[in-house]
Chains A and B, each alone.
Chain A
């Protein structure tokens, strides 16, 4: 195996790894939202909306690569 192949495969593994991690965090945050909705603690609406903002930020940063807009190229 050449160095080039090793690099590509390493990048691929890292890339898929990041995507899976982000998805798992999103799923966990969704579960927390659900639990908050059921438990109805004080400040329920604020908590749920903060979690929704965090989820949206994760998608925009890691899945939509908003950083690439400034830098150009692929992230």
Chain B
């Protein structure tokens, strides 16, 4: 076995080093995903300029934005509680996050229902709107699935062996989904 093999297969790093490696990996993943979303924002301006369809519901957009921001607060509180060793509180905040995420998804579904009439995907604005909100909604749903899995693991008591990392990772991913919407909301709804 070569020196490189030994290094790659060694699990002798300290928990602190392992945590730093995990975090770096997650941030690199987030960075790579950011490029995809940034590309979509550029496509929006490239195809539509600053045009925004007047029939887009501003009220729905504002409400779901505040709901997603609120879900970031509950996700933050879940991570904080987990780090303090308060699993009961962490589970409660994870459930709140799941609930708010589901409400956000329902809001997007409602928006799509109305948008299909007002500006179907065959129109320029419709194609941009459905692509951007669709890809974001896909990430919201995957985030919800991940948080639900992590919640199940915390409930089973797995956190005693895995530590707080699964909660931290799922919450970081959730915050990333929120950051993406922080840009998508003004780009899709507010700029005219």
Q: Report which residue of B72, B172, B185 has the largest number of chain A beta carbons within 10 angstroms of its beta carbon.
A: B72
B contact residues around A37 at 8 Å (CB): 58, 186, 189-192
CB-contact partner of A45 in B20, B50, B66, B182, under 8 A: B50
In the complex formed, the residue of B with least CB distance to A20 is: B73
CB-contact partner of A26 in B69, B80, B86, B186, under 8 A: B69
Do residues B178 and A69 form an inter-chain contact, with CB atoms below 8 A?
A: no
Do residues A60 and B179 form an inter-chain contact, with CB atoms below 8 A?
A: yes
B133 at interface, CB cutoff 8 A? no
Complex Cα spacing A51 to B191, Å: 13
CB-contact partner of B186 in A8, A16, A52, A66, under 8 A: A52
Q: How far in angstroms is the closest Cβ of chain B from A58?
A: 9
Do residues B62 and A48 form an inter-chain contact, with CB atoms below 8 A?
A: no
Binding site for A on B (CB under 8 A): 16, 19-20, 23-24, 27, 50, 58, 62, 65-66, 69-70, 72-73, 75-77, 80, 83-84, 86, 172, 175-176, 178-179, 182-183, 185-186, 189-192
Do residues B69 and A16 form an inter-chain contact, with CB atoms below 8 A?
A: no
Q: How far in angstroms is the closest Cβ of chain B from A48?
A: 5
Q: How far in angstroms is the closest Cβ of chain A from B113?
A: 23
CB-contact partner of A59 in B178, B189, B190, B192, under 8 A: B178
- Selected A-B contacts with CB under 8 Å, 8 pairs: A20-B73, A34-B190, A36-B190, A37-B190, A52-B182, A63-B75, A63-B178, A69-B23
A contact residues around B83 at 8 Å (CB): 74
B contact residues around A26 at 8 Å (CB): 69, 72
A contact residues around B179 at 8 Å (CB): 56, 59-60, 64
CB-contact partner of B66 in A30, A59, A72, under 8 A: A30
In the complex formed, the residue of B with least CB distance to A8 is: B84
A contact residues around B172 at 8 Å (CB): 64
In the complex formed, the residue of A with least CB distance to B75 is: A63
Complex Cα spacing A73 to B168, Å: 12
Complex Cα spacing A14 to B83, Å: 14
A contact residues around B62 at 8 Å (CB): 30, 34
Do residues A23 and B186 form an inter-chain contact, with CB atoms below 8 A?
A: no
What mask results when residues 1 to 39 of chain A are scored 1 for a CB within 8 Å of chain B, else 0? 000000010011001100110110011001001101100
B contact residues around A22 at 8 Å (CB): 73, 76
Do residues B19 and A72 form an inter-chain contact, with CB atoms below 8 A?
A: yes
Complex Cα spacing A74 to B138, Å: 30
B contact residues around A69 at 8 Å (CB): 20, 23-24, 27
Q: How far in angstroms is the closest Cβ of chain B from A75?
A: 9
